[in-house]
Amino acid sequence: MEARVLGKTGWKVGVIGFGAWGIGGQWGEVSRDQAMASMNQALDSGMTFFDTADAYGEPMGISEIWMGEALRPHRDKVIIATKVGNWGRRIGHPLPYTHWSHVELCCDASLYRMKIDAIDLYQSHIERPDETTAEVLLEGFDRLLEKGKIRAFGLSTRSVEGCQALNRDGKLASVQLDYSLLNTAPEQDLLPWCLENNVGVIVRGPLAQGVCAGKFTPESRFTDWVRRRWNEGEGRERFLAQLRAIEKLRFLENERRTLAQAALRFAVHHPAVSVAIPGAKSPEQAAANAQAGRDHLSESELEQIRRVLEGR
């Protein structure tokens, strides 16, 4: 698999990584054995970057538990990334994060769940921290760095302002952002900012919650808590518009790649991007995702994509 450097960390990571939100069961039931098989296949297929969050899973934290179990035997070969900032939010009881000790408390809990000595990349799940919250996060991250509990810190965000808030001392290592065939907005400011500041980019949502795989139809209905809003109203209208846009990109499929693999390759074509982290709930999905790390889109294909996106 193609490898790239993750910003100022100097770490080389496979260009396709593993997003572990889905194995926690929030996108549909996943058994422990299924999760383990998916991550083991990801490892066998050349993935080296694995991303989760403390709040992922039903119950919360199960994604970290399973990821730690799968990756501990391969600890020297992988980069483990997790996040802080959303614990309890979806059940209406978020932690306040008003003191650096709250950040360390969550880090210790993540270390305990994964049963590892240090987290490689610890990311803020608070996308746009205000000045006070940024101070809390930065002090927490600095203390964790000094204690060796984390090796670097990053941010999951949609805004340059959030990046600037956490890059006050130039230590921000990475930005995790939403970028896909259906969302190229980061090309306007966020991706250029990361490139200019040597901040590694981790692409989440490279398949736009599955739409870019081209397998959904206008008759598709959803039961998971994320996509069920697509079943009616404005969510339904947006979903149907996305389906129409993806149909215009069917030319990207060929005998050597699926539309999903082409979409993953698009998500990593920008020079600022280090790794994309699609989810996988089966070994077959993990292997297919990894294959995109060995492919490229031609300049003419990228040009065609641009024409389609500009005209949709």
Give pLDDT tens digits for 94-133. Answer: 999 999 999 999 999 999 999 999 999 999 999 999 999 9
Residue 97 counted as domain residue: yes
Mean of pLDDT over the chain: 96
Residue 227 counted as domain residue: no
Bridge partners of 84, per DSSP, are 124
Residue 238 counted as domain residue: no
Tokens linked to 85: 């900032």
Which residues lie closer than 8 Å to 150 by C-beta, 6 or more apart? Answer: 107, 118, 119, 120, 121, 122, 141, 144
Query: What is the per-residue pLDDT for 9?
Result: 97
Angle between helices 100-114 and 131-147 (to 10 degrees): 50
Among 160, 69, 165, 172, which residue's Cα sits nearest to residue 123? 172
Residue 53 belongs to domain spanning? 3-212+258-298
Residue 269 counted as domain residue: yes
Query: What is the per-residue pLDDT for 225?
Result: 81
Residue 123 counted as domain residue: yes
Q: Any idea which of 81-85, 224-228, 269-273 has the lowest mean pLDDT?
A: 224-228
The pLDDT tens digits for 13-55 are 999 999 999 999 888 889 999 999 999 999 999 999 999 999 9
Radius of gyration for the alpha carbons in the chain, expressed in angstroms and rounded: 19
Per-residue pLDDT averaged across 191-207, rounded?
A: 98
- Percent of the chain past pLDDT 70, that is, above it, reads 100
State how far the Cα of 173 lies from the Cα of 71, in Å rounded to an integer: 22
Residue 157 counted as domain residue: yes
Residue 45 counted as domain residue: yes
pLDDT at 312 over 80: no
C-alpha distances in Å from residue 46, one per residue of 25, 175, 292: 24, 22, 11
Residue 247 counted as domain residue: no
Is 0.95 topped by the overall pTM?
yes
Q: How many domains does the chain have?
A: 1
Q: What is the CATH number of the domain that holds 88?
A: 3.20.20.100
Which residues lie closer than 8 Å to 101 by C-beta, 6 or more apart? Answer: 140
Asked whether 59 and 88 are in contact (CB, 8 A), the reply is no
Q: Give the pLDDT band (50/70/90) at residue 233.
A: very high
Per-residue pLDDT averaged across 229-245, rounded?
A: 96
Asked if residue 59 has a cis previous peptide bond (ω within 30° of 0), the answer is yes
Bridge partners of 83, per DSSP, are 123
Bridge partners of 201, per DSSP, are 175, 273
